[in-house]
Amino acid sequence: MTKNIRVEARSVPPVGGFQQVGGRRIFVSRLGGGGPAVVLLPGAGAVGLDYFLVQQGVSRFASAVVYDRGGSGFSDPVPLPRTAAAVAEELHGLLHSQSIVGPYVLVAHSLGGAYMHRFAQLYPREVAGVVCVDAFHRDWDRFVPAVASLAATERMGPDPVQMLRMRAALREMYGELLRDYPLDLREVLIDAHVSAEWLRTGVAERGSLVALAEQILRHGGVLISYPEGRLVAPGETEPYKPGVAKLALATGIPIIPVGTTGTDRVLPMRRLRGAGPAFDRRQQVIVHFGEPIDPREFDDPEKLLDHLRLRIENLRR
């Protein structure tokens, strides 16, 4: 389901301007000079000027670019959520329309990480480097507990009605976050952030996290999943989280089972190491790769998970 979020009339920011890309106005602000240009990709519910102080700091040694992707912030509305490719292509068009020459350093916050990854897939010769700031990443489910997985984050996010009820608290929060901004910019941003339109936009963008992960997989990306979700001692097991199986079944992408041995000696759990060192780099870690598992041979995520668990346990013996 897509939603065309309309932005109510309000003051435009006192910095930056607009560039026509694909028939719509995209807000963009550029400071500084030199290269490679540093481009900041906002998270869901955030806008380019939320990173204004970062942009000022970067502009002392390089071109620093902030922008609002279509459908968000001060840019023209588009149906949400969007595909990662659509956002990446739009950013590419914006940079070229502004005569900002690559390769670029992409700095992505939160949801911006998905669009950064897709941009790097589509335009690898135009990326000098990437910086992830608490960003959506192909390894996301490996490093977070199950309650914060991509699927869980979609489900537990507040709905628009809940966000509207939080307006007073949000105004106070943004007042604190933006306290060092120039007053004219600060007031415009705070009013915009607590508007119904911007709140609905943030909710709509967060509704496509699993779909974004699937898009990265379908176009040659690699997702690394840590199915147990947390560290376990040798000989112990934890139930596997179903995310890896659901993604594999949804995309048809094979799973490559990986088992490691020796990690418990390099980084022993506190309750097991006694008086020994917390980290022993002299120990050897061996990584075992198994044959790919074709998800098309399974009709149920639990069956696929059971098979994956058995394959990984065999690799670790």
Q: What is the pLDDT of residues 144-169, one digit of tens each?
A: 666 666 666 655 555 667 667 778 88
Structure tokens at 33: 């000079």
Q: Tell me the three state secondary structure of residue 177.
A: helix
CATH topology of domain 3-215: Rossmann fold (3.40.50)
Residue 9 pLDDT > 50? no
> Quick one: pLDDT band at residue 288, thresholds 50, 70, 90?
confident
Residues of the chain with pLDDT > 90, as a percent, come to: 37
Q: How far apart are CA 144 and CA 170, in angstroms?
A: 26
Q: How far apart are CA 47 and CA 41, in angstroms?
A: 8
- CA-to-CA separations, 18 to 126, 222, 250, in angstroms, rounded: 23, 35, 39
Q: Which residues pair with 28 in a beta bridge?
A: 17, 67
For the chain, the structural domain boundaries read 3-215, 227-315
Q: Which helix (H) or strand (E) holds 117?
A: helix 112-122
- For 7-11, 95-99, 122-126, 199-203, which range has the lowest pLDDT when averaged over its residues? 7-11
Structure tokens at 249: 């079944």
Range with the largest mean pLDDT of 134-138, 190-194, 235-239:
190-194
The answer to whether 247 and 253 have CB atoms below 8 angstroms apart is yes
